[in-house]
Amino acid sequence: MRTLIRVAVAIALTATAVTTAMAPATAASPYKVTVTIAQSAITLGQSASLSGRVTGGAVKGKTVALYTRSASLDEPWQKIGTAKLSSTGRYKKSYKPTDGGPRLFRVIKSAGSGHGKGVAYSGSLDVFQWKSLQSYKDVATFGDTSINGSLHRGALLVTEGSPASFTTSTGECTRFSGTIGVDVSSAAEHGSVTLSDAFLAFFATYTVGRLTDGRSVTISLDTTKDLSFLADFPGSDTTSEIAIVGARVYCNSPL
C-alpha cells in the first residue's frame, strides 16, 4: 500500500514539473515614454525643443531615438538623433526643421534590462514660412517693374477689370505682405487696389501713386482667407497696372 502511495506522489510531482516547464514566460513590461514639444508653432529657421521621460526600469545613461515626419505629406519616419537619459529618465533634444508645414515626432526606448520597447508620439508642431504668392497662383500675371529706377522681377501686375486671385487657404496661410504701387509703364499717375477675400469678405483699399515717384505702400495684413486683388484707375484705365512687389504669405505648409 505504501509503495502505491509513493508511486502516486512521484507521478503527481512529475506532472507538476512538466506543466510548469510548458507554461509561457511572463511578458516583459514595456518602458513608458512621454514626449512634449515646448512650442506649438515656429518659423522655418528656428529650432523646437523636445523633452520627455522614460520610466518603468533603470535607465540612467541609456538613450532614446527620436524620429520626425510631415503631418501633411505621405512620407516615412526619419531619424533626427538620440538623447541620453538622466538618472530620473529625463531627456531633451533640440530640432531645427528643414522644411515648413506641420510635423509629428516619435520617441523610442528600445527593449532591455527585462523590459519591452516603449514608444511615444507627439502632437503637431506647426512650422511656418514666408512663401512667394506665386506658390498659390490661380489667375494672375507676374512680371518686371521698377521702383525709383530699380528693377524688380516677378512682381504681381494687376490690370483694372482683371482681379488676381489666390487660394492661399490651402496652405494654412495667416499673413500677407508686399509693396504696392502703380507700375512705371502705366499711363495713370495714381490708382488704388482692393485686397479682399477671393469669395466673401472685403478687407481694405490702398491708394497709391507711380512707383517711380516713390509713392508706394508697404502693407502687412493678417488673413486666413483666399486673397484677391482688384485694381482701380481714374476713367477706367485698362492700360495701367498696379504692381505688388515682394508679394508673399506666411504659411504652415511645405516648400
Q: Assign residue 40 the CATH number of its domain.
A: 2.60.40.10
* 88 pLDDT above the threshold of 80: yes
pLDDT bin (cut points 50, 70, 90) of residue 27 is low
Same domain as 185, residue 75: no
Same domain as 214, residue 244: yes
Identity of residue 240? S
Residue 13: inside a domain:
no
Side-chain-facing half-sphere of 72: CA atoms under 13 Å: 16
> Between the ranges 5-9, 121-125, 186-190, where is the mean pLDDT highest?
121-125
* 108 pLDDT above the threshold of 90: yes
pLDDT tens column, 180-216: 999 988 888 899 999 998 877 778 899 999 888 888 8
pLDDT tens column, 245-254: 999 999 999 8
Nearest residue to 251 via CA among 123, 131, 97: 131
Q: Are 184 and 212 in contact (CB under 8 A)?
A: yes
Same domain as 207, residue 148: yes
Residue 185: inside a domain:
yes
Domain boundary residue among 89, 124, 159?
124
Query: Alpha-carbon distance 158 to 109, whole Å?
Result: 56
Q: Rounded to two decimals, what is the model's pTM?
A: 0.82
Structure confidence at residue 13 (pLDDT): 38
**Total structural domains within the chain:** 2
Query: Alpha-carbon distance 97 to 232, whole Å?
Result: 42
Same domain as 173, residue 69: no
Same domain as 189, residue 156: yes
Of the listed ranges 55-64, 85-94, 236-245, the least confidently predicted one is 236-245
Structure confidence at residue 19 (pLDDT): 42
Residue 56: CB atoms within 10 A of its CB come to: 17
C-alpha cell at 229: 486683388
pLDDT bin (cut points 50, 70, 90) of residue 60 is very high
Residue 23: inside a domain:
no
* 20 pLDDT above the threshold of 60: no
Find the domain containing 160 and state its range: 130-251
Question: Where is pLDDT greater, at 10 or 143?
Answer: 143
- pLDDT above 70 coverage of the chain, percent: 89
Residue 222: inside a domain:
yes
* 236 pLDDT above the threshold of 80: no
Domain boundary residue among 104, 124, 144?
124
Same domain as 165, residue 117: no
